[in-house]
């Protein structure tokens, strides 16, 4: 894990950092900007919270929504730091898994090999040791096409930094736009492989892997390997909330908000308590329990930070 992976995740990469602000308190309207992959969860939080905070209204928009409204106080995705006066807190986590099409001709060989860290790095990243002759395994891996995102909201930086690489070290083709498009790319290209969040890989209703996809097995303990044989999103969430699995990258979802706005602070406090129960429904993990406790205490004391 890179030394400054945390800073890179939340700031430079800006993977879903919804930025939240409010109009004048008398209007009781909160606007939340979210990148696409977590918008369903943010909308669920909003709809549940307003049931208990009427007549408050919460509007959820995406980064691609039209801009120009004067009541938004946003810092934007992919920036190095938040606006002065904003506080930032972690409100959930996402997990990334390697995936391909269930029609990939190399899938059986990948299933037999089960990727350990060395094999995973050989598959996804450009090797710095170009003097050596490629092994048979390298030849197999290089017959496959890696797809990854290339914008500020992509999971590429999270995935790469977990294994001490940069996003630019990823092999293969870059796909513009939201990382949901990566799944379409590997369905069209039968040699294609990518990685993605549980929230995109699994159907929120059936809890099962979406049609046409196949997870690439990892070299894990026996009871953990079974999840790749019969994958369901709740099984992965149960595992990853109980223990850390070194081959499965995790990232934080964070939210920035105006620390002087009482309505915003109340909403954040609700997300950190009652709102956490909805994370699973949309394929996300709860925020780390120790971090949750610390943030709630600091929120109450009025000096919440993101130094966890």
**Structural domains in the chain plus CATH codes:** 5-93+250-301 (3.40.190.10), 96-242 (3.40.190)
Provide the 3-class DSSP secondary structure of residue 263. helix
Quick check: 277 pLDDT over 90?
A: yes
Contact 192, 103 (CB under 8 A): no
Identify the residue with better confidence: 222 or 137: 222
Residue tagged 């953990």 (tokens): 224
Quick check: 28 pLDDT over 90?
A: no
Name the phi and psi angles at 193, rounded to 5.
-140, 145
Using 50, 70 and 90 to split pLDDT, how confident is the model at 72?
very low
pLDDT given at position 170: 96
Using 50, 70 and 90 to split pLDDT, how confident is the model at 67?
very low
HSE value, Cβ hemisphere, 13 Å, CA-based, for 134: 12
Give the mean model confidence (pLDDT) for residues 121-134.
70
Contact 106, 144 (CB under 8 A): yes
From 7-16, 78-87, 151-160, 264-273, the region with the lowest mean pLDDT: 7-16
Give the mean model confidence (pLDDT) for residues 217-243.
94
């Amino acid at each position: 894990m890179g030394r400054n992976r945390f800073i890179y995740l939340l700031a430079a990469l800006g993977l879903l950092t919804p930025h939240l602000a409010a109009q004048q308190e008398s209007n009781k309207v909160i606007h939340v900007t979210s990148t696409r992959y977590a918008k369903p969860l943010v909308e669920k939080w909003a709809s549940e919270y307003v049931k208990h905070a009427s007549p408050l209204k919460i509007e959820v928009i995406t980064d691609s929504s039209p801009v120009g409204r004067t009541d938004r106080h946003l810092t934007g995705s992919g920036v190095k730091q938040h606006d002065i006066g904003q506080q930032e807190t972690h409100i959930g986590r996402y997990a990334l898994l390697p995936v391909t099409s269930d029609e990939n001709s190399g899938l059986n060989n990948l299933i037999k090999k089960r990727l350990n860290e060395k094999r995973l790095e050989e598959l996804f990243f450009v090797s710095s040791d170009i003097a050596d002759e490629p092994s048979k395994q390298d030849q197999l891996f290089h017959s496959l096409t890696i797809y990854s995102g290339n914008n500020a909201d992509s999971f590429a930086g999270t995935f790469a930094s977990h294994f001490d690489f940069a996003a630019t070290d990823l092999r293969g083709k870059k796909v513009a736009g939201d990382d949901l498009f990566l799944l379409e790319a590997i369905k069209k290209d039968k040699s294609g492989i990518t990685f993605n969040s549980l929230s995109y890989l699994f159907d929120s209703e059936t809890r099962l892997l979406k049609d046409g996809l196949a997870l690439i097995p990892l070299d894990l303990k026996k009871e953990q390997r079974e999840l790749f044989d019969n994958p369901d999103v709740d099984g992965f969430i149960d595992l990853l909330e109980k223990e850390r699995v070194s081959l499965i990258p995790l990232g934080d979802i964070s939210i920035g908000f105006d620390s002087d706005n009482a309505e915003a602070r109340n909403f954040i406090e609700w997300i950190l308590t009652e709102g956490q129960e909805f994370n699973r429904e949309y394929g996300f993990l709860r925020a780390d329990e120790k971090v949750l406790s610390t943030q709630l205490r600091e929120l109450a004391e009025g000096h919440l930070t993101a130094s966890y």
